[in-house]
Amino acid sequence: MFAVIKTGGKQYRVAAEDVVTIEKLEAAPGETVTFGEVLMVGNEIGTPFVAGASVTGIVVEQTRGDKTIAFVKRRRKSWKRKKGHRQELTVVRITGIAAA
């Protein structure tokens, strides 16, 4: 059975024992997290969320994504800017999907 959850402004399709990398959550490695915003469980689609459904997982690690470079140059002006960004991420192992 699979579920579609919403977290960090994005949607993820997860199943039991999946390892997903999501936007940073305030949780230490080893803590249990529960996702209550479940959009779909199996064939049941919520409006907008499935009532009583939840997905639980264990935080594996807190990490950072690859560096992305934003480089801006204005030609013939001797003007350029280079900015780097690394997104804070959380790796979660899904342990269970509970339907209503």
Tell me the C-alpha distance between 29 and 17, whole Å.
16
Tell me the C-alpha distance between 5 and 55, whole Å.
8
- CA 6, 8, 12, 18 torsion: positive or negative? negative
Task: Give the pLDDT band of residue 75 (cuts 50, 70, 90).
Answer: very high
Q: Where are the domains of the chain?
A: 2-98
Output the pLDDT for position 1. 87
Please compute, for residue 32, the number of CA atoms within 13 A of its CA located in the half-sphere on the CB side: 6
Task: Give the pLDDT band of residue 90 (cuts 50, 70, 90).
Answer: very high
> Does residue 100 register a pLDDT over 80?
no
Tell me the C-alpha distance between 76 and 13, whole Å.
48
* Max CA distance (Å), the chain: 63
CA 78 to chain centre: 40
Give this prediction's pTM: 0.84
Q: Give the pLDDT confidence of 35-55 residue by residue, as tens digits.
A: 999 999 988 898 899 999 999
Q: Please classify residue 90 by burial: count the beta carbons closer than 10 Å to its beta carbon, then call 0-12 exposed, 13-18 middle and 19+ buried.
A: buried
Task: Give the pLDDT band of residue 99 (cuts 50, 70, 90).
Answer: confident
